[in-house]
Amino acid sequence: MECSDPKEFSKLMTRAGLGLDDAAIQLGVSTRTVRRYMNGQVKRVDPLKIEKLREIADVRSFASPSSSFRFIDLFAGIGGMRLPFEAIGGRCVFTSEWNRFSRETYSANFPEPPESDHHFVGDIRPFAEDPKRVPDHDVLLAGFPCQPFSIAGVSKKNALGRPHGFLCTAQGTLFHDIAKIIEFHRPLAFLLENVKNLERHDRGHTFATIMGVLRRELGYNVSTAVIDSSPWVPQKRERIFIVGFREHANFDFGKLPLPSGPAPTLRSILESEVDPKYTLSEHLWNYLQGYKEKHRQAGNGFGYSLFSLDDVARTLSARYHKDGSEILIDQDGRRPRRLTPRECARLMGFDEPRGTAFKIPVSDTQAYRQFGNAVVVPVVHAVAQIMKPCIAELLRMRGREVPPSMRQEDLFYPEWASARLQRPLIPQDRSEESRFAQSRQH
């Protein structure tokens, strides 16, 4: 089989959603050779390479019957969004994460077989600029960094009567990159996650802009909820979840399955034997006590927080590696200690309370950063559970096969979610957009 037309090769590359580097790896040739194939600088492309490329393209093609829905994992960190969406029957076809240590942890936990068509890329921005390089998908996941962005210029454009779409309003932000991928691929659904404060950033304008883009400009049905993780894990961590469906879907955050039983406390996740290196040094402990006392005298409550077995921790942050001060574990008469990385994996729901399954191949410092940046897995799992029937329905409407895991009506909980408390989450489906849009006009 000859491939004299470079367009044919390029077309297959697009259908397969492969970048040059990925294609080189998949086809077992150099990146330079792939480029030469694409530019038509080679008269005849090895038929085996064409065959292989066609196979990949077929598997990836949206139209081809698939055993599960396809999702992409953007700003993937260590895969906190991927785990639950795989659990409900999805197949990850594309991951973007640029931090090399996070990539290491991700790869250790989501190894791909050599024949896999999954792409693992770094910086998402070049892909957002040329979104056809992102493979087709049904669901887009993104726990994007809360990067402040300015909407300055919008009011000026308004004043000048110039039109401005999302290409202008959100220009230069990572949200803009997500929006461009959504605009091109029009996935059936998306799930975005961010810090609770996103709603208040820039007096609500940032959130209003995001909602305006998702609802008005991209035309999705969007619901939002702030969810606290403490019914699932012994940690208070409030995050905003933004769910969008391209078409009408019977999605309702009010149906979020909350665990029953008493809320877990730190007792459930702490290790019994802990290396003494996690106990604070005398110097650091003295410093933290002095710092807290200084602020107490000044009338504010800054400083370390000490927790016992029956407590629920504060939010684990990415700076935990610095001094551990936000969550110190009381050690009865001894200086307190930090959580170990394994305990952080459990606190974030990557591991079950006594589990050790999640691989942590990086240094403690990197591990603390990664868990502090991550989502709480069982919370995303609960959201995925209520998205599942809506995704299944939309797949069915398209004549797509619905995998058995998505047909099960019963809600699956990880084993360890057996004993939990019913706690109020704060579901909201607010029309911030119009509220802030109004306030902007005044």
Ligand X SMILES: C[S@@+](CC[C@H](N)C(=O)[O-])C[C@H]1O[C@@H](n2cnc3c(N)ncnc32)[C@H](O)[C@@H]1O
Active site residues: 146
User: C-beta of 145: minimal distance to ligand X in Å?
Assistant: 5
User: C-beta of 374: minimal distance to ligand X in Å?
Assistant: 3
Please check whether residue 8 is in contact with residue 57, taking contact to mean a CB–CB distance below 8 angstroms. no
Q: Which of 422, 393, 147, 412 is nearest to 258 (CA)?
A: 422
- Rule CB under 6 A: which residues touch ligand X? 75-78, 80-81, 96-99, 102, 123-125, 143, 145, 174, 373-375
Distance (Å, rounded) from C-alpha 176 to C-alpha 151?
12
Distance (Å, rounded) from C-alpha 173 to C-alpha 128?
11
Please report which helix (H) or strand (E) contains residue 176, including its range. helix 174-185
User: C-beta of 123: minimal distance to ligand X in Å?
Assistant: 4
The backbone region for 439, taken as left when phi is positive above 0, alpha when psi lies in -120 to 50, beta otherwise, is alpha
Q: Which residue is nearest to ligand X (CB)?
A: 77
DSSP state of 284: H
CB nearer ligand X, residue 56 or residue 76: 76
Q: Which of 237, 239, 172, 181 is nearest to 209 (CA)?
A: 172
* Range 178-203 burial, b when 16+ CB lie within 10 A, else e: bbbbbbebebbbbbbbbbbebbebbe
Phi then psi for residue 292, to 5 deg, are -65, -45
Question: Between the CA of residue 208 and those of 157, 225, 352, what are the distances in Å?
Answer: 17, 15, 37
CB nearer ligand X, residue 102 or residue 209: 102
Please check whether residue 357 is in contact with residue 390, taking contact to mean a CB–CB distance below 8 angstroms. no
Please check whether residue 229 is in contact with residue 235, taking contact to mean a CB–CB distance below 8 angstroms. yes
User: C-beta of 363: minimal distance to ligand X in Å?
Assistant: 16
Distance (Å, rounded) from C-alpha 338 to C-alpha 197?
26
Q: Which of 233, 240, 383, 242 is nearest to 316 (CA)?
A: 233
User: C-beta of 322: minimal distance to ligand X in Å?
Assistant: 18
CB nearer ligand X, residue 127 or residue 416: 127
Beta strand ranges found along 229-363 (DSSP E): 238-245, 306-307, 328-331, 334-337
User: C-beta of 94: minimal distance to ligand X in Å?
Assistant: 12
User: C-beta of 442: minimal distance to ligand X in Å?
Assistant: 34
Please check whether residue 124 is in contact with residue 75, taking contact to mean a CB–CB distance below 8 angstroms. yes
